[in-house]
Structure 1
Amino acid sequence: NAGVLPPDSMSESQFSKRLALLWHPTEENTIFFNYSEGFRAPTYSAVNMGFSNPAHGYISRSNPNLKPEKSQSYELGWNYIDETKSFALTGFYVDYKNFIEEQAPTGIDPDTGYMIFQARNLDKSRIYGFEAKAHMNLFTIQNGHGIIGLNASLAYAKGEERKTKNPINSVEPLTAVVGIDYTYLDKLYLSARVKAVQAKKEGDISQASDPRSPKIPRSPGYATLDLIAEYKPQRDITINAGLYNVFDKQYWSWSEWKSAGSASARERASNPGFNAALSIKYEF
């Protein structure tokens, strides 16, 4: 396959430190701070594997020169939980040295005209953002055995190289999930869930340095509706069913969108339209 270099070996290690602080101003509230050091060695596939994908118009090349990624992360957050509701809010900031950006666009292959993607190190970079989650029991029915609840979550992150201020392509766009669920004892669970993803702005997309390379366009935002059910007729049997992308929306995940090498390849990389799944699990 194109892009394959002779196999290379790698052996790295690091002692990482971690600090966690908790404060409980009340029984329901928790305020926390976390500091941790991270270490991530390049994957075997990033170092040694490469392939070409004519259908999507790109080549993935190995990079035996990758260095291990090191990080220092800081988290500050608040949790609240009682019998009927829970809330969580966490802000994070991560400093990276040699951040490993998977499948970064690097140029055009002169022989095939395909876009080239390759894992690379970013010297100094940072990712920061926040996550918020909430759950509330709205009301109970069936003599208190059935509970109708509301779930919501929101995730935002932004990443950039420190020197160039170029964005980091592996960072996902703003994502929100809202759902209403119904739980009856431990037997039945029903959920209607809407997932909304913001469009990836052009200013948040890092382009290949080769001027011949086609630019990764702004990705469209989308929203999908999923209907999910789980039923346990008895302790050892679980039936799961789901209707996904109910309104048959054409959409792309950011990871698939940025890796497609052309408009036609991008069209083929869209996620499934309306689909359904059913599974039965029996535990001995």
Structure 2
Amino acid sequence: MFLQDEIQLSHAWELVLGGRMDHHADFGWEASPRAYLLYRPTEALTLRAGAGRGFKAPTLKQLSPEYESWAAMGGRGVIRGNPELQPETNQSFELGAAYANERWSLGATAFHNDVRNLIETVRQPTCFAPGRTCLAYDNVARARLQGLELTGGLTLSPQWSVQANYTWLDARNRATDTRLPDRSRHRANATLAWKPTAPLTTRLRVEYIGSQYRSATESDRPGYTLLHAYVDYAVTRHLSLHAGVENLTDRRLANDDAGVYARADEGRRYFAGLTARF
């Protein structure tokens, strides 16, 4: 159950109060309250601050002692469920600002999350399957994820626009005072959109994933860049079509260096769909 109330304190001030109740057969009831305060000194500028609590139960496969997948790491690993997993809980704090006018927009958000029992995939010291790596789901007792998100947008002309975002992340295991593995400190996206006609929009997106920490005895995974292309077409006011190609250059990192990039890449992939509005 989720409840939220948006309270207009004045023309410039708004208070958002919310709460969620979860019930899990194994873990019982959990309450997740949150509160945000918004201040709009002008029509274009919004300042916000908030805090909240979160709850995330392990999935059925993560909890199941019978679950076993031989497709992990592109077929090089085996992962099993763990019935001893505990749910994640977190305390989050956020401070942000956003400015938008007719031509351009900017935004910045600082965040800080204290997480208990973070669910991670952990390599096991030995493996029952020769030539493979055994993995298991486990809890990190205490973790901290904090960082900064920057966003921006610019309308170049009625047909052309660009959007970009950047995230800096500091993720640490507070129990061991070490970095959490497999998380990039730097991530960025930039999207160039072209709208030649009213119903047609095309987008080209560049995605950058920075280097990832592995362990104290292993070198970091190098960063890499992916390219994606999309097209949207509004057939009518109620129906639109979508298509795209992700990983346009068919970048396959695990094929280049399987010892560094442990997970198999999806390679170039295509999709198509439609959206109906009523």
Same fold, TM-score > 0.5, yes or no = yes
Q: TM-score scaled to structure 1, two decimals? A: 0.76
1:130–1:156: 8 Å Cα contact kept in structure 2?
Answer: yes
Partner of 1:124: 142
Q: Which moved more, 1:216-225 or 1:44-53?
A: 216-225
| CA distance in 2: counterparts of 1:89 and 1:81, whole angstroms | 12
Task: Letter of the 1:251 partner, please give it.
Answer: L
Aligned counterparts of 1:82 and 1:169: Cα–Cα separation in 2 = 39
Q: Residues 128-182 of structure 1: CA distance to partner in whole angstroms, max 9, x if unpaired?
A: 1121111111123xxxxxx311111112212111131122235345211112112
Contact 1:57-1:265 within 8 A present in 2 as well: no
* CA distance, structure 1, for counterparts of residue 245 and residue 55 of structure 2: 39
Is the counterpart of residue 65 in structure 1 residue 81 in structure 2?
Answer: no
| 8 Å CA contact retained: 2:89, 2:116 | yes
The residue matched to 2:179 in structure 1 has which SS?
Answer: coil
Highest RCO, 1 vs 2 (Cα 8 Å, sep ≥ 6): 1
User: Structure 1 residues 183, 99: closer, same or farther in 2, change over 3 A?
Assistant: same
CA 1:216/1:104 → structure 2, altered by over 3 Å: closer, same or farther? farther
One-letter code aligned to 1:241: A
- Provide the residue aligned with 2:75 in structure 1: 56
Residues 37-52 of structure 1: pairs in structure 2 closer than 5 A: 37-48=53-64, 49-52=66-69
> 2: distance between equivalents of 1:130 and 1:164?
23
Asked whether the 8 Å contact 2:229–2:246 carries over to 1, the reply is yes
SS at match of 1:107: coil
Paired residue type of 1:157: L
Residue 30 (structure 1) aligned to one of 16, 28, 46? 46
- What's the secondary structure of 1:196's corresponding residue? strand
TM-score of the superposed pair, with normalisation by structure 2:
0.78
**1:196-275 correspondence to structure 2 within 5 Å:** 196-200=208-212, 204-206=213-215, 218-251=220-253, 263=259, 266=262, 269-273=264-268, 275=269
Shift in Å, 1:37: 0.7
Given the superposition, is the C-alpha separation of residues 42 and 12 from structure 1 closer, same or farther in structure 2, using an over 3 Å criterion? Answer: farther
- Which position in structure 2 is the counterpart of 1:107? 125
The structure where strand makes up a greater share of residues is 2
Match of 1:192 in 2: 204
Specify which of 153, 158, 164 is matched with residue 176 of structure 2: 164
What is aligned with 1:13? Answer: 29
Which letter maps to 2:202?
A: L
Counterpart residue type for residue 224 of structure 1: L
SS at match of 2:63: helix
Listed as ranges, the gaps of 5+ residues in structure 2 are 1-24
| Whole-angstrom distance in 1 between the partners of 2:97 and 2:107 | 6
The separation in 2 between residues aligned to 1:216 and 1:51, in whole angstroms, is 27
CA distance 1:154–1:57, shift in 2 (3 Å) = same
Tell me which of 134, 146, 167 is aligned to 2:152. 134
In structure 2, the CA distance between the partners of 1:186 and 1:12, relative to structure 1 (3 Å rule), is farther
Answer with 147-156 or 185-194: which moved more. 185-194
